[in-house]
């Protein structure tokens, strides 16, 4: 979620962190099923770019409505502002699924991001796992700080 927070801080209302997060969950349903059943390829088709594109579409379609409902329950914004535009849901889901493939490909040897064109994973080991975790943590911290700084700045201009 760290990179998602950074993207949200830059794009603000043009990016849905809720849809992005939902996409992360949907991406890992297949590995969860493999871990529970012990059957299948841990990071299978869902962790390829074609699989990520399909998951992005499903996540955008379901995540738009689930996110709007969740935001209403949480009382995050007035009801009139709780509509997530379709293009925002789609962009957020695609960023979520494709970034998930890239980040997992860097640290997991069984990810084949370019399947079926290639079974190779040229992203594996481009960063150490420790550096990857730090990248995610620091991008989240910077993103949260920037998000609130922008919100405070915009709020002071509106007053």
Instruction: Please say whether the beta carbons of 50 and 118 come within 8 A.
Output: no
pLDDT in tens, the chain (159 residues): 999 999 999 998 899 999 999 999 999 999 999 999 999 999 999 999 999 999 999 999 999 999 998 888 887 766 556 789 999 999 999 999 999 999 999 999 999 999 999 999 999 999 999 999 999 999 999 999 999 998 888 775 544
Task: Give me the pLDDT at residue 155, please.
Answer: 74
Instruction: Please say whether the beta carbons of 85 and 60 come within 8 A.
Output: no
What the block records as the tokens of 37 is: 């059943």
- Domain spans of the chain? 11-124
**Single pTM value for the model:** 0.90
Instruction: Please say whether the beta carbons of 52 and 23 come within 8 A.
Output: no
């Amino acid at each position: 979620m760290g990179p998602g927070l950074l993207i949200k801080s830059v794009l603000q209302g043009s990016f849905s962190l809720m849809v992005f997060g939902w996409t992360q969950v949907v991406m890992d349903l297949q590995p969860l099923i493999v871990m529970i059943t012990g059957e299948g390829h841990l990071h299978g088709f869902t962790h390829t770019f074609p699989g990520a594109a399909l998951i992005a579409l499903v996540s955008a379609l379901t995540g738009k409505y689930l996110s709007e409902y969740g935001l209403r329950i949480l009382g995050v914004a007035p009801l009139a502002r709780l509509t997530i535009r379709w293009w925002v849901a789609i962009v957020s889901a695609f960023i979520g699924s494709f970034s998930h493939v890239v980040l997992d490909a860097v640290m997991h040897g069984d990810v084949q991001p370019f399947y079926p064109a290639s079974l190779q994973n040229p992203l594996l080991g481009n960063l150490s796992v420790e550096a990857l975790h730090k990248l995610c943590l620091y991008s989240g911290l910077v993103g949260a700080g920037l998000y609130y700084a922008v919100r405070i700045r915009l709020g002071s201009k509106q007053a």
